[in-house]
């Protein structure tokens, strides 16, 4: 909704009211995001002869940017991209000279043979992006036939990396032609559709805020933005046509509001709230981290952290969590130009464990597919992204992905306990198969004389409704379970969590959904199988109140949510909410949101 400000000092700014998807205030220049998916749409792949010249120019420009980028890596080892490449180089025992590898990258990027092949493809009627893919596909089998020689394997992966980098330059030049800006300038992304991997492609130092046309709390992009700790405002239907690239924007995530060309006075007024992400301490005003998550009648609730970025793990203690209940391992995968190999993954998981120190971590295996696209696994893109090839389905189609990940986790946890959680399980047999894979990998490590984890705990996420009918059979294969309420809710109601056009119609506090959760909780309790809930509803005080009343004693959520949920718990009498929820589950009413609000008001429970 657009409002022209009437107060004299505000008249030049325009204000749009949406919905807060993450708190904080940020100022920056507008960058209108165009989905790479759209840029890559099949209709663009074939071009007419009159577009050949244009595509050749686009290719030349992208190659120039690629050369410049790699030249920079050669001369400046201080950038994070360079250090990522350096890590890769350091882990490669065949190469002892990192400069030599970077020089090889440069030679590949400048290779006239490659350039000619790309140009020929464009002249034959492909657009530039398709030319890169087709050229890679013709070169791949040639290098793969020399697979026995590690040298050629390494060249193949370098070449895939270079091709992906070139594609990114082609896409950037196509989608953001007029958005010239200095790399260090603060930017606010304005997007109709944006996936989490696309958001992570933006420079993290420049990225200050996000404005979305859609408004879903449980969308993966909102979850990743929360990890990045940037303010997010959603639900602004016409915002793309109201903003021009380069406009000055102020995003007020606290109020769910966006200002275009904000007046100086307004900026000054919000100055002390402007986000300075790096090193910003978590807001502990709700409950300091040392306070226990204990109800007034002494019931302890275990609060855990949801993490995805390596740095998230640093917040365990400051947020007042007792460990990481969900580490989304796909997020580091999304931030890389290519699939990390076993050595790179082992290095990453070790770093996460080191940062966590004494605190336990639940590593969720790769949950890709759907909106979580890995740019280098485009072949996994699906026609039906939410219900088709996601997570366990992807990894069962390509078991090597899961095997390598398990191998890396086992190596990283040698000599200590390893906790693994499987997403999107639909059948017990999937857990059984994964358990066998884990056992096989452990045996393999033992045979090699390597140390293995002291214990492996395997858990499954309850996200697909079919699993809720198989709990008795599932119990003997798992050490614990965790409800992924974001997915369970969308599959239960057949709505798409990324495009919540029906979100007003269905509510996680509907009795239908709560009864399902109650049945899961009761079955786990009887079978003594530890249960947690790690979807976004755990981090909202009112929803957390309902969950505790249903008997959930372990909740996992974002760092920012923990002090607020803890405050609610510390003002609550467990027995009262437990009796209340037992009672209410028998009611005929559809939804308990309002009656829970009344309960909180009548019993002095703090909800903010």
Smallest gap from Cβ 510 to ligand PEP, in A, equals: 17
Give 484 or 500: the residue with its C-beta nearer to ligand PEP: 484
Q: Is 454 exposed, middle or buried (0-12, 13-18, 19+ CB in 10 A)?
A: exposed
Give 345 or 486: the residue with its C-beta nearer to ligand PEP: 486
Give 13 or 556: the residue with its C-beta nearer to ligand PEP: 556
Smallest gap from Cβ 168 to ligand PEP, in A, equals: 25
In terms of Cα–Cα distance, which of 165, 208, 214 is closest to 18?
A: 214
HSE, side-chain direction, 13 A CA sphere, residue 99: 2
Per-residue contact flags (x/-) with ligand PEP for residues 449 to 468, judged by CB under 6 A:
--------------x-----
The answer for residues whose C-beta is within 8 angstroms of residue 273's C-beta and 6 or more apart is 24, 25, 254
Smallest gap from Cβ 463 to Mg ion, in A, equals: 5
Smallest gap from Cβ 423 to Mg ion, in A, equals: 6
Which two structure tokens, joined as six digits, stand for 355?
């940062």
DSSP 8-state code for residue 207: E
Look-up of token digits 């069962």:
396
CB 537 within 8 A of CB 516: no
Q: Of these, 486, 510, 554, 558, which contacts ligand PEP (CB under 6 A)?
A: 486
* Contact flag: residue 484 with ligand PEP (CB under 6 A): yes
Per-residue contact flags (x/-) with ligand PEP for residues 316 to 355, judged by CB under 6 A:
----------x-x---------------------------
Smallest gap from Cβ 491 to ligand PEP, in A, equals: 9
Look-up of token digits 């009343």:
549
Give 453 or 541: the residue with its C-beta nearer to ligand PEP: 541
Residues 198 to 257 in contact with ligand PEP, rule: CB under 6 A: 223
Distances (CA, A) of 514 to 454, 498, 504: 37, 22, 17
Smallest gap from Cβ 556 to ligand PEP, in A, equals: 8
Q: Of these, 345, 485, 503, 558, which contacts ligand PEP (CB under 6 A)?
A: 485
Give 222 or 251: the residue with its C-beta nearer to Mg ion: 222
Smallest gap from Cβ 166 to ligand PEP, in A, equals: 31
Smallest gap from Cβ 220 to ligand PEP, in A, equals: 6
Give 484 or 541: the residue with its C-beta nearer to ligand PEP: 484
What is the H or E stretch that residue 350 is in? helix 342-356
Residues 2-5: contacts with CB under 8 Å, at least 24 apart? 2/238, 2/242
* Contact flag: residue 315 with ligand PEP (CB under 6 A): no
Q: 308 φ, ψ to 5°?
A: -150, -45
Sheet holding 2-4, edge to edge: 2-4, 14-17, 257-260, 248-252, 25-33, 187-191, 207-212, 232-234, 19-22
* Strand pairing report for 232-234 and 19-22: antiparallel
Count of residues touching ligand PEP (by CB under 6 A)? 11
Smallest gap from Cβ 43 to ligand PEP, in A, equals: 30
Smallest gap from Cβ 461 to Mg ion, in A, equals: 6
Q: Which does 174 bind (CB under 5 to 8 A by kind): Mg ion, ligand PEP, none?
A: none
Give 418 or 464: the residue with its C-beta nearer to Mg ion: 464
Chain residues that interact with Mg ion, rule: CB under 5 A = 463, 484, 487
Distance CA 422, CA 17 (A): 39
* Contact flag: residue 487 with ligand PEP (CB under 6 A): yes
Give 109 or 474: the residue with its C-beta nearer to ligand PEP: 474
Which range in 50-58, 158-166, 484-492, 511-519 contacts ligand PEP by CB under 6 A? 484-492
Q: Is 116 exposed, middle or buried (0-12, 13-18, 19+ CB in 10 A)?
A: exposed
* Contact flag: residue 498 with ligand PEP (CB under 6 A): no
The three-state secondary structure class of 205 is coil
Distance CA 427, CA 441 (A): 22
Q: Which does 510 bind (CB under 5 to 8 A by kind): ligand PEP, Mg ion, none?
A: none
Distance CA 195, CA 251 (A): 20
Q: Of these, 118, 401, 514, 534, which contacts ligand PEP (CB under 6 A)?
A: 534
Distance CA 282, CA 318 (A): 7
CB 320 within 8 A of CB 293: yes
The answer for residues whose C-beta is within 8 angstroms of residue 384's C-beta and 6 or more apart is none
Which range in 19-27, 260-268, 452-460, 483-491 contacts ligand PEP by CB under 6 A? 483-491
* Contact flag: residue 369 with ligand PEP (CB under 6 A): no
Distance CA 461, CA 483 (A): 6
Smallest gap from Cβ 305 to ligand PEP, in A, equals: 12
HSE, side-chain direction, 13 A CA sphere, residue 588: 0
Q: Which does 251 bind (CB under 5 to 8 A by kind): ligand PEP, Mg ion, none?
A: none
Give 105 or 327: the residue with its C-beta nearer to ligand PEP: 327
DSSP 8-state code for residue 463: -
**Given the rule CB under 6 A, which residues bind ligand PEP?**
223, 326, 328, 367, 463, 484-487, 534-535
């Amino acid at each position: 909704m657009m409002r022209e400000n009437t107060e004299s000092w505000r008249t030049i700014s325009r204000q749009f009211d949406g919905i807060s998807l993450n708190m904080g205030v940020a100022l920056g220049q507008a960058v209108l995001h165009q989905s790479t998916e759209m840029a890559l749409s099949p209709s663009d792949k074939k071009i007419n002869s009159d577009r050949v010249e244009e595509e050749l120019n686009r290719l030349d420009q992208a190659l120039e940017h690629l050369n410049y980028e790699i030249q920079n890596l050669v001369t400046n080892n201080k950038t994070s991209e360079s250090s990522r490449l350096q890590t890769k180089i350091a882990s490669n025992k065949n190469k002892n000279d990192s400069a030599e590898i970077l020089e090889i990258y440069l030679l590949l990027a400048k290779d006239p043979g490659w350039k000619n092949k790309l140009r020929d493809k464009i002249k034959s009627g492909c657009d530039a992006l398709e030319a890169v893919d087709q050229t890679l596909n013709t070169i791949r089998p040639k290098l793969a036939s020399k697979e026995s020689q590690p040298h050629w394997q390494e060249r193949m992966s370098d070449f895939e990396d270079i091709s992906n980098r070139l594609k990114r330059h082609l896409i950037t030049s196509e989608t953001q032609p007029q958005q010239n800006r200095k790399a260090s300038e603060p930017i606010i992304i304005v997007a109709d559709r944006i996936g989490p991997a696309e958001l992570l492609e933006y420079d993290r130092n420049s990225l200050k805020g996000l404005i979305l046309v859609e408004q879903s709390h449980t969308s993966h992009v909102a979850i990743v933005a929360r990890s990045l700790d940037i303010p997010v405002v959603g639900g602004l239907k016409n915002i793309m046509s109201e903003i021009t690239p380069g406009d000055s924007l102020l995003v007020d995530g606290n109020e769910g509001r966006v200002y275009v060309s904000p007046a100086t006075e307004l900026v000054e007024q919000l100055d002390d709230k402007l986000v300075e992400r790096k090193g910003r301490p978590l807001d502990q005003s709700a409950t300091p981290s040392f306070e226990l998550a204990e109800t007034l009648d002494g019931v302890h609730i275990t609060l855990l952290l949801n993490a995805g970025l390596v740095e998230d793990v640093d917040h365990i203690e400051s947020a007042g969590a007792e460990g990481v209940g969900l580490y989304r391992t796909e997020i580091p995968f999304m931030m890389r130009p290519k699939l990390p190999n076993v050595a790179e993954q082992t290095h990453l998981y070790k770093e996460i464990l080191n940062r966590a120190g004494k605190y336990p971590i639940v590593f969720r295996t790769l949950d890709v597919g759907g909106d979580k696209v890995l740019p280098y696994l485009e072949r996994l893109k699906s026609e039906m992204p939410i219900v088709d090839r996601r997570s366990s389905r992807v990894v069962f189609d390509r078991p090597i992905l899961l095997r390598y990940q398990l191998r890396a986790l086992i190596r990283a946890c040698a000599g200590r306990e390893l906790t693994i959680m499987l997403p999107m399980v639909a059948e017990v047999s999937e857990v059984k198969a994964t358990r066998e894979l884990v056992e096989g990998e452990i045996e393999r490590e033992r045979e090699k004389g390597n140390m293995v984890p002291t214990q492996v705990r395997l858990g499954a996420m309850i996200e697909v409704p079919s699993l809720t009918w198989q709990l008795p059979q599932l119990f003997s294969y798992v050490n614990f379970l965790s409800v992924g309420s974001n997915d369970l809710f969308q599959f239960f109601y057949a709505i798409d969590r990324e495009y919540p056009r029906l979100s007003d119609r269905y509510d996680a506090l509907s009795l239908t959904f709560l009864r399902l959760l109650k049945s899961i909780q009761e079955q786990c309790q009887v079978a003594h199988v530890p249960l947690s809930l790690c979807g976004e509803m755990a981090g909202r005080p009112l929803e957390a109140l309902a969950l505790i009343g249903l008997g959930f004693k372990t909740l996992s959520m974002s760092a920012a949510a923990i002090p607020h949920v803890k405050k609610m718990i510390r003002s609550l009498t467990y027995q009262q909410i437990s009796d209340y929820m037992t009672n209410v589950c028998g009611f005929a009413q559809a939804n308990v949101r309002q009656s829970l609000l009344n309960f909180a008001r009548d019993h002095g429970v703090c909800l903010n």
